[in-house]
Structure 1
Amino acid sequence: MSKKRVNFEYCDRLVRDFEKAVERPVKGDSNNYYTGVDLGTACVVVAVLNENGEPVAGAYRYADVVRDGMVVDYIGAVQIVRELKLEVEEKLGAELFYAASAIPPGTDALDSGAIKNVVEGAGFELTNLFDEPTAANEVLQISNGAVVDIGGGTTGISILKDGKVIYVADEATGGTHFTLVVSGAYQIPFEEADLFKRSNENHAELLPVLTPVIEKIATIINKHIEGYDVQEISLVGGTCCLEGIEKIIEKKTGIYTHKPQNPMFVTPLGIAMTCEAETN
């Protein structure tokens, strides 16, 4: 078990450094900044790395402009990304020109144009558009395993072999379902339940309430990884921030399950690593 954990030291260190950079941006004399824009279902994240691949700044905002990987509020998405861009630029004292972004696997024909337009509409030049699991694996560095992205409405499973995505699947059940269960259990409105769910201090109380939903997610994972050589599972996405979720999934799948320092930030950092900063 400990040997497997060593495999994710780079990921966890990078996420910790990014969390620090969000609170205290690292100003320097870098000529090139690599920006990743992650349009998540529940949260929009902008992550910035310097030319050495080190996190220097970032910002995020909870929003409802994307649902199940599809942009449903184009104007709102552009405005949020533009505001986050300006916020980070002010912190760094430098202008950000180039960015990469990502899309859920299997949605490129449906929504890649919308993502591109949002990023460029916010004032960036888009230099790369990757699928999310490939971007996340820039940070995770999984060779033979699965990236499980628990989003707002769905759970995405991407299986990797020799570091390449060989299979993807996406099924309903995600953070929205967690919120609905909390809303019903506590008899509170959906919006209030969502805020209650996000607070870390409530996680110990909520874990038994949400265990049936987590076990359903584990069942979805088991169905899709059957027949594949999955040696480890790594959880990404804001919904995975729930404390203890990884233990339940590991127990139900029987496979070592890693949860990064903050799973919400893995994909945006991986996206930033795929950005190509122009110098000419």
Structure 2
Amino acid sequence: MKLAIFRQSGSALAMTLLGLSLMAVVILTLNKLVLSYHNSATNIGDYDLAQNAAKMALINAEQTVYNFDNTNGMETLSIAARVAKVESVGVSNCSNGWCYSTLTSWKPWLESANSSSRPCNSYDISINGSANALPWIDHSSGFALAFNTGIGGLCAQPRYFMELVNPAFIGRQTGANTGVLTQLNGKTIQLYHNGNGARTARLYRITVRAFGRNGNTRVTLQEYVAIVRNTNLRGDGADTVSHHIIPVSIRWLYDD
């Protein structure tokens, strides 16, 4: 009788310990899931924060490009004079936020230098075993311009540089004075106007690098934008989208 009681007590103890073990495993698994979800949500939130910072810096960069174009009277200059204006600032590479080179295959956002000031830890990753993770944008040397977003806690404020990629951007086929987009109802929207003998627009490229609170969170935004100030080449009506600043293309760049 006593032996049976001992056996029952032992079985009950074993079942209790097994139950406690299972509970511990369940609790541990749930904790890991919650932690994983929290980290994932934090990373997504930080990435969104970096994207917002990049967009804010891009707006500032557009204004910087427009002010440069306006201050230097690019509208009335010859093509050679337009190139000379940017070259004098970029000094055949990058300076004061402007980059310029006669090399046809040059991509300044892939440039690197041992003396560069590397924000956060965004350049610990190498591409092809040699170049730094794209893009290399160093504010302290004056190669790029920093923009204060007012967002607290960022690992670093976003920075950007600008290039003149086409001093006489026409954006149309030869012989066509305007570019139009036909709507479903047959109505056309005028995208640009560039009549014969009219001043051509200038096509600039802007590259923005932004960071989140975590130094590993980094995004790169690049835009091609055309600048034209002649009132004959723009309009604000219901059937035209031509303006002083015309976004031509925008894309996110990614680390290899």
Q: Do both proteins adopt the same fold according to a TM-score greater than 0.5, normalized to the shorter chain?
A: no
Larger Rg: 2
**Which is richer in helix?**
1
What TM-score do the two structures reach when normalised by structure 1? 0.27
